[in-house]
Amino acid sequence: MSFSKCLTLKNMNPCLKKIEYAVRGPLVIRAAEIEKELKEGKKKPFNRVIRANLGDCHAVGQVPITFFRQIIALIAYPGLLSDPNFPKDAKERAKSILNGCRGSSVGSYPDSSGFEIVRRHCAEYIENRDGIPADWQNIIIGNGAKDVIKAVMELLISEINGKKAGVMTPIPQYPLYSAAISKFNMHMIGYYLDEATNWSLNVSELERAVNEAKEYCEPRAIVVINPGNPTGQVLTRKNIEEIIKFAHKENLFILADEVYQHNIYDANSKFFSFKKVLMEMGPPYNQMELASFMSCSKGYMGECGLRGGYCEITNLDPEVQKILIKSISAMFCPNNIGQAVLDCVVNPLKKGDPSYELFEKEKNFILDSLKERAKMVYEGFNACEGMSCNVVQGAMYAFPQIKMPPRAVEKAKSLNQCPSVFYCFQLLEQTGVCVVPGAGFGQVEGTYHFRTTILPQPEELKHMLNIFKTFHEKFLAEYK
């Protein structure tokens, strides 16, 4: 008996077909296959895959913060509250979280926007960071920042004068944004970051991008990732002011991805939140609409797998905010464990607390080590002939440029691959090092990059950079 599917490529949601997501794309799938082959005893010129493709700290040896994990154990299994091996401050914090849970169990539903107590702590954290008031009712917690990024972007889906909503997005960009734009049937307005000035945002480039786009879409929002992913830059206050002025002129909603706000390594760089700058610029800028995103997955904690993140919305139309809250309550629910971790991040231990010394030691060890690794990566790639890499001022990534030999470009094109993809596949197959091709993030036509994390532990990273140098020299020799 014949049978035709009711759901096929032809009649499925066309927007989903357009989604691309390189950080978990074909190269990463191949890396997993190679790991399996190695496990099965297959001979390779290397004995393990080095994963520098994903900002996944714990996967590559980062140790969790003790206090955070004690909290999870205590709230999940409150019998431990009488265990003398757990410190007093951890028990107190655990009790206050359980107090915020209905029925004193983390198994009960939180409010859809998250626990009031955690939202209040987020607001206090922001106030302390910026010196600007923050209202806890403007905080929405999700299962990681992804949930809340999508929820805010969805507000902007609309058709105006027959034109789709356009969202300005950096190139190179973190592909969550392009994926969401595809899925939401919006238009991506790519603006190029300026590699020559350490990936800063150039207003004339923003102007070019928005003006060209106006013909075929209605520009509604601008995404800025600061510190940068995949580019590792930290925006100056002056640059942020320029972006805000531009957004004001074009009446754009600002989406500030600030999940790496704890990850600043460069002595000359400082993190300024968009909220702080916008508020301090005074009228009319301090009335602009802004959403800022933060996560437990990055920073010094790196708790990606526990899924905690928040959004602060500023100056949203109160009627629109009501609809946002309503739509969230129907569609989302943040997990309670991720919220507890978020609470630890935004309401950190204070001097004098029994666990403070250990916490500070662990936190600083990680941040100091990341700083060291940021430098290693910068120096390592710049030491390779035909490669250049900007200073990694912040975040967890570098985006080095490869001066690709013309014969390698030809070879890649003959395989119907972007040369950056070709390069990264060769690297993976020959050395086991897994990085993500620049094509997955976007790059100026005719330039070739890759994104690497700075996350492998220092010894491993040194090893990786050596492998890279040897591979790169061999590659240049082969295609010169």
Of 131-170, binders to a copy of itself (CB under 8 A) are 143-144, 146, 150, 154-158, 160
Query: Is residue 72 close enough to count as binding a copy of itself by CB under 8 A?
Result: yes
Nearest approach, Cβ of 183 to a copy of itself (angstroms)?
7
Could you give the 3-state DSSP secondary structure of residue 466? helix
Does 52 interact with a copy of itself (rule: CB under 8 A)? no
To 10 degrees, the CA torsion angle through 172, 173, 175, 176?
Answer: 180
Contacts of a copy of itself in 300-329 (CB under 8 A): 301-307, 315-317, 319-320, 323-324, 326-327, 329
Residue 16 touching a copy of itself (CB under 8 A)? yes
Which DSSP string corresponds to 138-174?
A: GEEEESSHHHHHHHHHHHT--EETTEEEEEEEEES--
Site for a copy of itself in 183-202 (CB under 8 A): 183
Which of residues 8 and 268 has its CB atom nearest to a copy of itself in the complex? 8
SS3 call for 2:
coil
Report the distance separating Cα 208 and Cα 38, nearest Å. Answer: 49
Nearer Cβ to a copy of itself, position 283 or 352?
Answer: 283
Query: Using the rule CB under 8 A, is 125 a contact of a copy of itself?
Result: no
Q: Can you tell me which of 176, 213, 279, 435 binds a copy of itself, judged by CB under 8 A? A: 176
Instruction: Print the binding letters for residues 235-274 with a copy of itself: x by CB under 8 A, - otherwise.
Output: ----------------xxx---------------------
Nearer to a copy of itself, 81 or 444 (CB): 81
Q: State which of residues 50, 98, 106, 311 lies at the interface with a copy of itself (CB under 8 A).
A: 106
Q: CA distances (Å), 364 to each of 81, 116, 309, 370, in order? A: 28, 29, 22, 10
Q: Check residue 82 and report its DSSP letter.
A: G
Among 31, 62, 188, 225, binds a copy of itself (CB under 8 A): 62
Tokens of 274: 């968009």
Q: Does 15 bind a copy of itself (CB under 8 A)?
A: yes
Q: Which string of x and - marks every residue 201-220 that binds a copy of itself (by CB under 8 A)?
A: -------------------x
384 in contact with a copy of itself (CB under 8 A):
no
Tell whether residue 424 is a contact of a copy of itself (CB under 8 A). no
Query: Alpha helices, DSSP H only, in 237-335?
Result: 237-250, 274-280, 318-331
CA-to-CA distance for 457 and 434, rounded, in angstroms?
Answer: 15
Tell which residue, 399, 477, 386, has the closest CA to residue 438: 399
CB of 466 to a copy of itself, least distance (A): 22
Residues touching a copy of itself, count (CB under 8 A): 100
Burial 319-349 (b: 16+ CB within 10 A, else e): eebeebeeebeeebbbbbbbbbbbbbbbbbb
> According to CB under 8 A, which one of 5, 39, 42, 43 is a site residue for a copy of itself?
5
107 binds a copy of itself (CB under 8 A): yes
Q: Name which of 126, 110, 73, 115 is nearest 346 in CA terms.
A: 126
Interface with a copy of itself (CB under 8 A), residue from 284, 416, 445, 459: 284
CB of 98 to a copy of itself, least distance (A): 11
Q: Cβ of 125: how many Cβ atoms within 10 Å?
A: 21
Residue of 27, 100, 112, 454 that binds a copy of itself (CB under 8 A): 112
Looking at 41-49, 53-61, 351-359, 364-372, which segment touches a copy of itself (CB under 8 A)?
53-61
Tokens of 440: 């997955």
Number of C-beta neighbours around residue 63 at 10 A: 12
**Contact assessment for residue 343 and residue 118, using Cβ atoms and an 8 Å cutoff:** yes
Examine residue 21 and tell whether it contacts a copy of itself (CB under 8 A). yes
Measured distance CA(6)–CA(184) in Å, rounded? 23
The interface region with a copy of itself, picked from 71-79, 389-397, 399-407, 468-476 by CB under 8 A, is 71-79
Give backbone dihedrals phi and psi of 190, rounded to 5 degrees, phi first.
-75, 130
Task: Name the residue among 212, 208, 177 with its Cα closest to residue 194.
Answer: 208
Residue 99 binds to a copy of itself (criterion: CB under 8 A): no
**Which CB sits closer to a copy of itself, 370 or 387?**
370
